[in-house]
């Protein structure tokens, strides 16, 4: 009698269905875990935009020995989203010298400058503006009228680094505290530092920001 062995018979219908069921379960777990992470990626990307623009502006100021003005669009409009901009300034007392082009980077879709409810200040302690100000520089909500990186890298009120500004920009997706991000600027050195909020809300003892 000619009997086929197990290898020649292949998989049974039951075994095939079991494999398909396992694959479906694994796929569903992967999809489930992915929910919510896209918002986190968007927030981190927005933080990277702000952090990157500020660092580039500072480096340009130092390398070109010119002041670089920076500003932030904290109110989105139909014509312009939330943005970070900088512009190399004309050198004082140099005839014919002109400012460079304005370099603007928008924040990713759904993200904006926002201070999430219950999220504390970063360890740097620069976000001291009253209320829920998303951009707090020199203790002013929205920041001073003019802000510069000086040719020596300081973040200040003028082109010469006379009065330095400390500040924090809070970024994320509104009403989603898990997406809270921040970028701080230390005026005396111009150092820019990004932060991600990973701790609980409302002042719990284990509140944590991480760089």
Q: What is the pLDDT of residue 33?
A: 47
> Can you read off the two tokens belonging to residue 12?
């049974």
Mean pLDDT of 34-56: 87
Q: What percent of the chain has pLDDT over 70?
A: 79
> Can you read off the two tokens belonging to residue 29?
């777990």
Higher pLDDT, 22 or 54: 54
Q: What is the pLDDT of residue 37?
A: 78
Mean pLDDT of 119-130: 89
Question: 178-203: per-residue pLDDT in tens?
Answer: 899 999 999 999 999 999 998 775 55
Question: 10-22: per-residue pLDDT in tens?
Answer: 656 666 666 677 7
CA angle 160, 157, 103 (to 5 degrees): 90
Mean pLDDT of 65-78: 87
The 8-class DSSP code of residue 132 comes to: S
The 8-class DSSP code of residue 184 comes to: E
Q: Where are the domains of the chain?
A: 38-210
Mean pLDDT of 93-122: 89
Average pLDDT of the chain, as a whole number: 84
Enumerate helices (H) and strands (E) in the chain, giving the number of each. 3, 12
Q: Could you give the CA distance from residue 149 to residue 59 in angstroms, rounded to a whole number? A: 9
Instruction: Lowest mean pLDDT of 7-21, 69-83, 127-141, name the range.
Output: 7-21
Question: Other C-beta atoms within 10 Å of 177: how many?
Answer: 16
Q: What is the pLDDT of residue 135?
A: 94
Question: Other C-beta atoms within 10 Å of 114: how many?
Answer: 24
Closest to 202 (Cα-Cα) out of 116, 120, 115: 120
Q: What percent of the chain has pLDDT over 90?
A: 55
Q: Could you give the CA distance from residue 191 to residue 72 in angstroms, rounded to a whole number? A: 18
Model confidence band, residue 32 (pLDDT cutoffs 50, 70, 90): very low
CATH of the domain spanning 38-210, picked from 3.55.40.10, 3.30.1280.10, 3.30.1540.20, 2.40.50.100: 3.55.40.10
Question: What pTM does this model have?
Answer: 0.78
């Amino acid at each position: 009698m000619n009997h086929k062995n197990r290898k020649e018979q292949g998989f049974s219908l039951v075994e095939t269905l079991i494999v398909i069921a396992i694959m479906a379960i694994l796929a569903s777990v992967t999809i489930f875990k992915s929910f919510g992470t896209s918002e986190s990626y968007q927030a981190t990307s927005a933080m990277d935009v702000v952090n990157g623009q500020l660092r580039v502006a500072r480096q340009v100021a130092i390398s070109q020995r010119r002041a670089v003005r920076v500003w932030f669009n904290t109110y989105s409009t139909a014509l312009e989203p939330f943005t970070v901009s900088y512009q190399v300034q004309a050198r004082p007392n140099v005839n014919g010298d002109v400012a460079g082009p304005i370099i603007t980077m928008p924040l990713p879709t759904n993200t904006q400058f926002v201070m999430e409810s219950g999220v504390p200040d970063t360890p740097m302690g620069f976000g001291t503006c009253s209320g829920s100000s998303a951009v707090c520089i020199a203790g002013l909500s929205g920041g001073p009228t003019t802000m510069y990186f000086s040719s020596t890298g300081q973040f200040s009120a003028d082109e010469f680094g006379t009065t330095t500004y400390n500040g924090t920009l809070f970024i994320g997706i509104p009403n989603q505290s898990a997406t809270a991000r921040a970028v701080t600027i230390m005026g005396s050195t111009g150092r820019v530092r990004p932060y991600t909020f990973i701790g609980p809300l409302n002042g719990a003892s284990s509140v944590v920001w991480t760089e």
